[in-house]
Amino acid sequence: MTDAYQLAIATISVATQLFAVIDPIGAVPLLFNEPDYERRITKISRLIGVAVPIILLVFALMGPYIFSIFGININDFKIAGGIILLIVAIDILRGGTSSTVPINPDDYILVPIVTPLLVGPGAITSAIIYMTYYPITAVIIGIIISSFFTYLTVRYLLLVRIMGHSMLKMIGRFFSLIIASWAVQLIIEGITHFI
């Protein structure tokens, strides 16, 4: 396989997994239920389109330095990150969406919509760990792609109108299985290192 092909596969893997962890599909119905959402959608989606990739890129690129400053081993982080991702997956599986915080766009957009609803501990953990699995180019492009589709999901309400809340919740539960599988893999790898 060529380097370009391997880079493309790695990029798709990062983008797909990260989109599942961010779970904008699960967030859209919650935002859609808010009063006067149509008027605020442009402002909300623009901030999401800018803030989501910036936050993820900062943590992905600064992850190794954060580990160094706090003396954290990557395998320790894999176990802790795996546990966090597993909790996120179970949360989505049980409720059809993440119930991290209540949504109130009248109060804030950056908090709690961008973080921690979209870019929460699970997404930040994933972005940092991806740097140990994939080439940096694949991680950066994957983050940009997943952020772009997150923006599109929130900006355009066709998903909610066409598919309905029930279908979106079902898709969210399917994504939770992907997140759970990734979480279990991280925990096993972290524990195997110590054994």
Give the pLDDT score at 101.
44
Mean pLDDT for the stretch of residues 17-34:
72
* Per-residue pLDDT tens over the stretch 122-181: 888 889 989 988 999 999 999 999 999 888 888 876 566 666 667 766 776 777 787 788
Greater model confidence, 106 or 66: 66
**pTM for the whole structure:** 0.77
Is the pLDDT score of 54 beyond 60? Answer: yes
Q: How far apart are CA 62 and CA 73, in angstroms?
A: 15
* Percent helix, percent strand, percent coil in the chain, to nearest 5: 85, 0, 15
Q: How far apart are CA 178 and CA 43, in angstroms?
A: 31
Is the pLDDT score of 52 beyond 60? Answer: yes
Give the pLDDT score at 142.
96
* Per-residue pLDDT tens over the stretch 5-25: 999 999 999 998 898 888 787
Give the pLDDT score at 100.
44
Is the pLDDT score of 98 beyond 60? Answer: no
Give the pLDDT score at 103.
45
Q: How far apart are CA 98 and CA 107, in angstroms?
A: 20
Residue among 155, 122, 172, 160 at smallest CA distance from 48: 155
Give the pLDDT score at 36.
59
Mean pLDDT, the chain, rounded, equals 79
